Amino acid sequence: MSLSAYATAQIERFTLQRWTAGVIGLGYVGLPLAITAHNRGLDVIGYDVSEAKVAELNAGISRIEDVTNDELAAAVASGVEFTTDANALKDADALFIAVPSPLGVNRHPDMRFIEAAANTVASIARHGQLIALESTTYPGTTEEYLLPAITQAGLVLDENVFVAFSPERVDPGNVLHTQDIPKVVGGVTPTSTAVATAAYQRLVANVHPVSSAKAAELTKLLENTYRAVNIALVNELAQVAHAFGIDIWEVIDAAATKPFGFQAFYPGPGVGGHCIPLDPQFLAWRARHLNVPTRFIDLAEDVNLAMPEYVITRLATLLHEHDIALPNARVFGVGVAYKRNIADERESPAMDVLRGLAARGVHIDVHDPHVANDSIKRHGFVPHDDVTGAKDADVTVILTDHDCIDYATLVASSRLVFDTRGVLRRRGIDASHIHRL
Ligand code: SAJ
């Protein structure tokens, strides 16, 4: 592929010179990206529409677990600029868009944030910039939203501006940081791929270019659909194993001894977070427009969304076996975050279980050391700062297996335990009053 002199010059600039990274959206993806760019020696302008968030960031207060206050304060002290003034982005050589891409009504993609970011680009984009979308979305989004934006800005693709997609791969609570995670990059043209690859190579150690923005968009959806489908598989097998009187946890551990061709996934109360339950729906929604079936995605969603009710049914049966009716029973819920060792409750299946129990007249006490008591109260549950609150409950249900929980004391304080995460077995804690998925 022959590159224009202009594109070659931009590649050299991104490769050899100090340049300014502009990050649009300072959440769990954008803020780590901004700090990474700073740590890699680039100038950084962070833009967000939230005045409160920008004020906190400039004061060195991080709400993102993967960015410490000290890291943030050091970045601000050495010149990283957080602002709500989009015009500041005119000084950026590359714009990285990391805004939310949630589902809206009927679990259809809510493109408002990407649309707003595209409007920002239309108002500030200038000659020489790379514009890279990172928000998880359906194949075709980058062309559909960013090409009109650069046209509106009076720019011409590959002549004086470059456009690409590069999926974020943040795993909240994981020790891997942005610069250590390989990055897939796909330009809307081969020239844009080349320029985007050069820019990203300054941010991360390992860049994997693909042939188009659509290929990059679908890569991300494959990654997360793969997880959603495999989690649904073990969630269904957990129900099958229970019907057979088999311990699914033992079976998964046994299968995991296979040194090739098997990756262990584990059953749970459902699938939470802002990625796995949502991202596959972007693909399913777009595929429907093309009359292409996505039966695995649809079935995985059905199985995963039904898990909270399955947990409630198992709890009702367990209580009934001990002559306790669900209505007016007391349940001690352990863990409301959507996965271990984080505070995020978005789309948390633990919340679905507890709300479902409360709707059946169950009194709910909750212990989650990662989630603020005010937040637990807002859901109508009674927060407990330690596990001894279990002693007043008819059953303890473990919904999120945070590492910091004192499981030995929890079990000793409980009349009955229902473990939806297999954490007690993992910890070698067994007793006749412990039951699990
Ligand atoms: N879960 C299970 N069983 C499993 C694994 C997960 O029930 O075997 C549940 C979790 O408890 C959680 C949900 O599924 O409720 C999602 O879990 P997750 O581990 O996929 O965590 P996320 O959504 O925070 O992060 C994922 C990333 N995770 C990993 O790669 C391990 C990755 O897919 C994406 O980089 C990220 O979403 C994203 O931002 O898309």
Give the whole-angstrom CA distance, residue 217 versus residue 143. Answer: 11
Q: Is the separation of the CB atoms in 48 and 25 below 8 Å? A: yes
Which pLDDT band holds residue 346 (cuts at 50, 70, 90)? confident
pLDDT at 204: 94
Q: Is 221 in the pocket of ligand 1 (CB under 6 A)?
A: no
Strands of the sheet containing 417-419, edge to edge, are: 382-383, 363-367, 330-334, 395-398, 417-419, 434-436
pLDDT at 236: 98
Distance 275 CA to ligand 1 centre (A): 7
Global pTM reads 0.94
Residue 99, SS3? Answer: coil
Give the whole-angstrom CA distance, residue 130 versus residue 183. Answer: 16
Comparing 177 with 352, the larger pLDDT belongs to: 352
Distance 9 CA to ligand 1 centre (A): 40
Q: Is 27 in the pocket of ligand 1 (CB under 6 A)?
A: no
Q: Is 276 in the pocket of ligand 1 (CB under 6 A)?
A: yes
> What are the structure tokens assigned to 25, written together?
């959206």
Q: Is the separation of the CB atoms in 58 and 76 below 8 Å? A: yes
Give the whole-angstrom CA distance, residue 285 versus residue 283. Answer: 5
* Among 29, 103, 271, 303, residue to substitute to test ligand 1 (most atoms within 8 Å of Cβ): 271
Q: Is 231 in the pocket of ligand 1 (CB under 6 A)?
A: yes
Give the whole-angstrom CA distance, residue 423 versus residue 429. Answer: 9
Q: Measuring from atom 1 of ligand 1, which residue has the nearest CA? A: 271
Share of the chain above pLDDT 90, in %: 92
Q: Does 237 have pLDDT greater than 90? A: yes
Q: Is 170 in the pocket of ligand 1 (CB under 6 A)?
A: yes
Reported as a single tens digit per residue, the pLDDT across 134-164 is 999 999 999 999 999 999 999 999 999 999 9
Nearest Cα to 393, choosing from 352, 334, 335? Answer: 334
**Ligand 1 atom closest to 220 (CA):** 40
**Ligand 1 atom closest to 274 (CA):** 23
Give the whole-angstrom CA distance, residue 302 versus residue 339. Answer: 20
Average of per-residue pLDDT across 351-363: 97
Q: Is 351 in the pocket of ligand 1 (CB under 6 A)?
A: no
Reported as a single tens digit per residue, the pLDDT across 17-36 is 999 999 999 999 999 999 99
Give the whole-angstrom CA distance, residue 408 versus residue 423. Answer: 11
DSSP element (H, E) containing 115? helix 112-124
Strands of the sheet containing 161-165, edge to edge, are: 81-83, 43-47, 20-24, 94-97, 129-133, 161-165, 183-187, 207-210
Mean confidence (pLDDT) of the chain: 96
Torsions phi, psi for 349 (to 5 deg): -65, -25
Catalytic residue list:
275
Reported as a single tens digit per residue, the pLDDT across 265-302 is 999 999 999 889 999 999 999 999 999 999 999 999 99
**Ligand 1 atom closest to 265 (CA):** 8
